[in-house]
Structure 1
Amino acid sequence: MTTKTSTDTAAQASINAAARELHLPTVRAEAERLAEIAARERQTHRGYLAEVLAAEVDDRTERRRTRRINEAKFPRIKRLAEFNIDAVPSITPATLGHLAAGNYLDAGEPVVMLGDSGTGKTHLLIGLGLAACEQGRRVRYVTTAHLVNELVEAADERVLSRVVARYGRLDLLCLDELGYVQIDPRGAELLFQIITEREERASIAIATNLPFSEWGAVFPDPRLVAAIVDRVTFNAHILETGTQSYRLRTSKNTRRRAN
């Protein structure tokens, strides 16, 4: 028994050393526990190895998912499953399910959420971004005003190409609050660079309170407006959230259920 214990201890030490060298933290943490389970259940060597490697893969997937969510910089967590479909009848569960699957990302197709303030656009935008993160995709959420300011600062500091390339590498760019702030000509041209960088190659999801016919109130150059609208609507998935406040109806329903 002592000999077996010594052998097992030496084997565990070797596993720990190898796992540390190979950067396999879950193997190092779980190998001994899974070995005890394997012995009780009389698993084969292959069965035990499969369990150890599966644990490492699962843990690595979860760490990657968590990292993607943190890197996306969502202002809060909102899931598509939590969206109240009854409040916005024009958007069906099938539509959300199709988008959650992420096929539009593989095709580089845009998504546009159109509707008045409070109608659930940002919830949908974050929900799409979160679903993409959970698939291991690279996502970034940003308001239009913040992105334009970032681009202007990058241009002033002569690092614009680096910033544009960084946004170009994303699988999904979630652009919120387009239409709330007018953009000056320089900012509009810089934003156009980001949109062009992603055209038909990587998806952009936009939440806006303005119909496309009114985007001229945001972008001062009519030709630039036409070019931007053309790019964000080509093969786009357009979700109309309407004019009635989603937040107000949700709050009323919550109070009604509580009473």
Structure 2
Amino acid sequence: MSERLIKVLPKGLWERRLDNFIPEDEVTERALDLSKKYVRHRAWKIGSNFVLLGGYGTGKTHLAAGIAIEAVNMGDTVAFITAPSLKIGDFKTICEKIQECSGVDLLVIDDLSNETENKMTTDKIFELINHRYEQGAGTIITSNLNLTDFDSTVGARIFSRLGERTAIMRLEGVSSYREKKRERYVAWTKQPLEDQGPAER
């Protein structure tokens, strides 16, 4: 594990690579294919953006983290932030976070939603998106919003600019990976109770 990668990604995402993403259906297969193409063409270097829309647990963050890992391994500068984290701290702290993200080769904004209700935070996020558009730097955005709500959340001007250079992947009708993983952890609740003596300690 490289020090650069440790600095870029939260610990829980270190193992979320494209090569261990397991598609469950045609939609997630397509999402993985687009993610690999984004990497293969290093599309962020020409200012191309990638937006992943879908419900919670559909693999959006895994794919975004996987792309970020590939970009770090290629030697590019990467920043990975969650939109809700930009609500934490005072104005100066938030501005510093935004500034740190503005000049990297690839920026990932994870979990952008209409929960980002703080107007100052929202304005700063879209100022950042607009700055990267002007600089021709690529951005990946994941969001649990549908396309209509995403449009209204980012605003017509930014959405229009994003649309000019963006591949949008909608993970609709996809089962939640978290629900499937949950089954493994709670399978014991469905087992018959048998008298096998006290549990080992």
The answer as to whether partners of 1:112 and 1:237 remain within 8 angstroms in 2 is: yes
The answer as to whether partners of 1:107 and 1:202 remain within 8 angstroms in 2 is: yes
Which of residues 69, 83, 87 is equivalent to 2:5? 69
Which of residues 47, 52, 70 is equivalent to 1:113? 52
Residues 73 and 95 (structure 1), Cα distance of their counterparts in 2 relative to 1, 3 Å cut = closer
Give structure 2 stretches of 5+ with no counterpart.
186-201
1:248: Cα distance to partner? 4.5
Cα-Cα RMSD: 2.8
1:150: Cα distance to partner? 5.4
SS in 2 for 1:136: coil
Which of residues 64, 70, 77 is equivalent to 1:125? 64
Alignment of 1:240 onto 2:170? yes
Work out the CA distance in 1 between the residues paired with 2:181 and 2:99.
41
| Matched ranges for 1:105-254 at <5 A | 105-149=44-88, 152-154=91-93, 160=95, 163-179=97-113, 181-199=115-133, 201-215=136-150, 219=153, 225-248=155-178, 250-251=180-181
* 1:16-42 deviation digits (Å, cap 9, x = unpaired): xxxxxxxxxxxxxxxxxxxxxxxxxxx
Work out the CA distance in 1 between the residues paired with 2:57 and 2:167.
20
Work out the CA distance in 2 between the residues paired with 1:231 and 1:82.
33
* 1:93-150 deviation digits (Å, cap 9, x = unpaired): 5423312224212211111001111111111111111111111111111110112435
The answer as to whether partners of 2:76 and 2:106 remain within 8 angstroms in 1 is: yes
Work out the CA distance in 1 between the residues paired with 2:182 and 2:54.
20
SS in 2 for 1:237: strand
1:151: Cα distance to partner? 7.5
SS in 1 for 2:93: helix
What's the TM-score, normalizing by structure 1? Answer: 0.61
- Percent identical pairs in the alignment equals 22
Q: Which amino acid aligns with 2:7?
A: E
Give structure 1 stretches of 5+ with no counterpart.
1-64
**Structure with more contact order per residue of length (Cα contacts < 8 Å, sep ≥ 6):** 2
Residues 243 and 136 (structure 1), Cα distance of their counterparts in 2 relative to 1, 3 Å cut = same
1:182: Cα distance to partner? 3.4
The answer as to whether partners of 2:151 and 2:159 remain within 8 angstroms in 1 is: no
Residues 235 and 150 (structure 1), Cα distance of their counterparts in 2 relative to 1, 3 Å cut = farther
Partner of 2:197: none
Moved more, 230-239 or 121-130: 230-239
SS in 2 for 1:186: helix
Figure out how many residues of one structure are paired with residues of the other and give that number.
180
1:164: Cα distance to partner? 4.0
Work out the CA distance in 1 between the residues paired with 2:35 and 2:25.
12
SS in 2 for 1:190: helix
Q: Which amino acid aligns with 1:188?
A: T
